[in-house]
Structure 1
Amino acid sequence: MLHQIVGGRFVESYSKLLPFQPTGRDVLDYCNSLLLILHRSSVPSQYYVCNPATKQCVAIPMNPNHLDPIYAVLAFNPVESPPNNTNNNYKIVRFASAASTASVTHPPELDVFSSVTGKWVNHPVPLQPEPELYGFKWLCKSVYLDGVLYMLSYTKYLLCFDLSADNLNPRAVKLTNKGKALGVGFIGMSKDCFYYSNHVENAILVWSLDHDHQWILKHSICIDDFVWFHHRRILDRYRLSPLLMPCALHPSSEVIFIAIPRLIFSYNLKTNQFNVFYILQENRI
């Protein structure tokens, strides 16, 4: 019930700012208190950036070259906004439509909207190694930290773009391949540090990235501990332990959230304590 109350208040806090009634699928991204929302039914589709705390909402002009506007992410850090200025300094970033068909002669491109200029700017972003990365697909989940936007590609590379540089200084970092990983994994931020996590063999592993773009293993959580913690009532009954995947990090505490269908655990990385954070009702999807 508490989750429903808090969730309802949060939805109400931004839905009142919009000229239409949004659904959950209309929220494309969230970054440091700002929401990126897409009005899909308008013609053409329309982006909105909302700040529920200050009750501000801005309509963003759609780039006419965006055939599919849903693959967009938000980059915002309050520290980068001018002091005593109510206007937030943020950027909207999306791959141009040519990204999935990029080649050596036609590298992928990023379209970046700046709230300062009010304009979209197109940036070619040549990435190495070319044979593995060109023609890639990417995950919508992103992390924005210290001016750099991090994204994951399905080819198991971390893509890094410096939004403060004119050429975006594109970089591709191979994901750590220790053991047999399930899927691409998860990126997140906690206490102003960047982390990557994935289910690898019989553990949930958590890495950080150093200044030389080398992976450092920080935590290893044994999957068997989840089974023991839940007395085999859920994980064994539905045989879902292979589906345990990291899904979020607490922004200010050393807590990682790990999910299976219908259930989310919280795990304290300092105390090694599990808790059931959320259980979806039987009649809900």
Structure 2
Amino acid sequence: MSPNIVYDANGLPRIRLTEPNGSSAEVLLYGGQVVSWKNERREELLFMGSKAIWKPPKAIRGGIPVCFPQFGNLGSLEQHGFARNKMWSLDSDPSPLPPAKNQSSVDLILKSTEEDLKTWPRSFELRLRISLSAGKLILIPRVRNTDNKPLSFMFALRNYLSVSDISEVRVEGLETLDYFDNLMRRERFTEQADAITFDGEIDRVYLTSPAKIAIIDHEKKRTVVLRKDGMPDSGVWNPWDKKAKALPDLRDEDYKTMLCVDSAAIENSIVLKPFEEWTGYQELSTVSSSYCSGQLDPRKVVQGIH
């Protein structure tokens, strides 16, 4: 069944996914970007910049942008690559994935164009399946090398999560890992804290991170669990007050209610032989957390015991 496409106030084609328990997601063809994910209580789980610019060719601040074929400024292309600034299409042939039998999935595709080949002379197909179920949002990205020479790229799903107050949030699962600190000229450090907490700007890439990471929001009594495969690294970013003031698509106070925790392949680029395909996987889910009163041990969430 073809997804229902509506045009929003900015004229951008938008697909709305719903499921019987009442949760919903909205996906733009522009950037292949998820811009809303609401739980069954209609609470928004993703952060969108209140001054986000919804007009091509600007990237839209918030939701889940796709960073491809580079992350950040680690290459010759624009920040985070060009996939988030392009108009994607509905994918009529998502094989070899099994067909999506429900309306809560959409398959998108981005193919290299003549224009792309001028700035990045590689031929590719980037596919993305977005699936919604009760309490879960799953993204399955796939990149196929359609060239007769090897294809090397970085990839990230940048998850802008909505939080009650950044100073009340902790991230578990990244302790003891090495990370590159982008605020310190990408120097490499080892995380010493038992959990990541926030009291200032952070811009790091944690290396070889586990398949599960827990983002615990004390005030909302909610934990977002990020599960991933094929994307060994994790970006963590919050601009804090000074940087937020300098960004035109954020309000001064926006940094307090957002946190980016990414699924990524950054340290080691993914390399595909001619006509080879890479598949990643990301699942975001929520656990109703009474962690403040000690009823939920976040380590159990990370280890999958809960």
Class of the TM-score when normalised by the shorter of the 2 chains: under 0.3
* TM-score normalized with structure 2 length: 0.24
* TM-score normalized with structure 1 length: 0.25
Q: Which has the higher contact order (CA 8 A, sep 6+)?
A: 2
